[in-house]
Amino acid sequence: MAEPVSAPAVLLDQDGIQQVVKRLADELSARYDDGLVLVAVLRGSVPFLADLVRAMSIRTTVDFVALSPYAPGTGRVRLVMDAATSVEGRDVVIVEDIVDTGLTAAFLLSELGRRNPKSVSLCTLVDRPARRIVPVDLDFVGLEVEDHFVIGYGLDFDGRYRNLQVLATADPATLANDPDAYLSLYGA
């Protein structure tokens, strides 16, 4: 008999996402009225970045970094693709999909901080403080969530669900059993 699918919960629908993005874009535009370098972390932050940058009313440069996924327990993160833009003397904001353990955020804040930017801070769509290993200052937060796995709007499971229009919680055990268990969210 098939395992029952644990029901997903929509955290943000399309309107909710756009409201959060607009608020963050306004906060960033007000704080950095002299321009900004946005450094987005591939690949989960791409939909968020695309909406965020278009909702901003200041001069921005967009660049990307990619990191190696860390092996659980090691806490080691490595740059596999660096940004091409020089951040020296510039205000920089790292754009993340979700800050979970904080390892990615802490690594990037330190790495970009060594390049003599005017300032470096962090903007994340989702903050999940429950599993934090490294404390990080999050300057711009879209939504704080409880200890749930999150999919949609860039966030994936095994490469799936990045193009969902909503942000939803999903049960990791259900996904491990059937990675397509939440396909119904495409109609949400």
Residue 149 touching ligand 5GP (CB under 6 A): yes
Would residue 100 show up in a list of annotated catalytic residues for this protein? yes
* 151 lies in the site for ligand 5GP, by CB under 6 A: yes
Residues 54-113 that bind ligand 5GP (CB under 6 A): 96-105
**DSSP labels, 6-73:** PPPEEEE-HHHHHHHHHHHHHHHHHHTTT-EEEEEETTTTHHHHHHHHHH--S-EEEEEEEEEPPPTT
Residue 127's closest CA among 138, 135, 116?
Answer: 138
What is the pairing mode between strands 149-151 and 167-170? antiparallel
Q: How far is the CB of 87 from ligand 5GP (least distance, A)?
A: 20
Which of the residues 63, 100, 127, 171 is marked catalytic?
100
The contact pattern for ligand 5GP, residues 7-36, with x = CB under 6 A and - = no contact, is ------------------------------
Residues that bind ligand 5GP (CB under 6 A): 41, 44, 96-105, 149-151, 155-157
